Amino acid sequence: MIGLLAPDRGTVEVEGEDFWASSRSRRDEIRRRFGMSFQEGALFDSMSVGENIAFPLKRHTTMTPGEVQARVAECLALVRLGGIEGKRPSELSGGMRRRVGFARAIALKPEVLLFDEPTTGLDPITTDVLARVMIELRDRMNPTMVTITHDLKVAFEVAERVALLDRGRILVDLPPREFEASDDPLVRAFVRGDGSEDTESRVLEEATA
């Protein structure tokens, strides 16, 4: 979706514009409208927290050092981590590193925010904190948000619509309550663990593909 890999077939369109038919410079311009939060935060270990968040600002804007510093502080406050600019990623807990990743993702005030498994491997309390931060970012910034997750609790808390991928296609795309109540066998297997052998084999096939 963010254009890191070219599709084997079909098109990727952003507001009607064919992304891969555009020039490289135009693709870079479009990408700057997206913010990406990678799994585990994907922070630069050799940089401080502040330097990590400042990285896209220094590369893609003409902001002064003072303006960059102010924006970094603003982003950290938005993810409930004010005042840790000088710390290194190695000094942070897993949940804090994820939130620093969120802060870097919003630095350029993107129109679209992408979250890749934002709560994987975290304890329930930390997961709840991250879910609340995601909701606050949505409410304060009003971006389009797309989250890939296997944590249904998080999906139902943060999403306005929940989609289930099956064999590379969107099988179901519904509001959370309707998704949870769906009669589709694969959805039932995913949500309640009461699938038949057929649905279980389909899930296993997807997981190992």
For residue 194, the model assigns a pLDDT of: 58
Question: What whole-number distance in Å separates Cα of residue 71 and Cα of residue 74?
Answer: 5
For residue 77, the model assigns a pLDDT of: 95
| pTM (two decimals) | 0.82
Residue 189, CA distances (Å) to 36, 63, 197, 202 in order: 30, 50, 10, 10
Q: Are 105 and 47 in contact (CB under 8 A)?
A: no
Residue 45, CA distances (Å) to 22, 51, 173 in order: 34, 10, 38
Question: What whole-number distance in Å separates Cα of residue 169 and Cα of residue 159?
Answer: 19
Residues sharing a CB contact under 8 Å with residue 76, sequence separation 6 or more, in sequence order: 49, 53, 82, 83, 84, 85, 100, 103
Average pLDDT along the chain, 209 residues, taken 10 residues at a time:
87 91 92 88 90 94 95 95 93 92 95 92 91 93 91 91 87 91 86 59 46
For residue 209, the model assigns a pLDDT of: 39
What would the pLDDT profile of 43-74 be if each residue is shown by its tens digit?
999 999 999 999 999 999 999 999 999 999 99
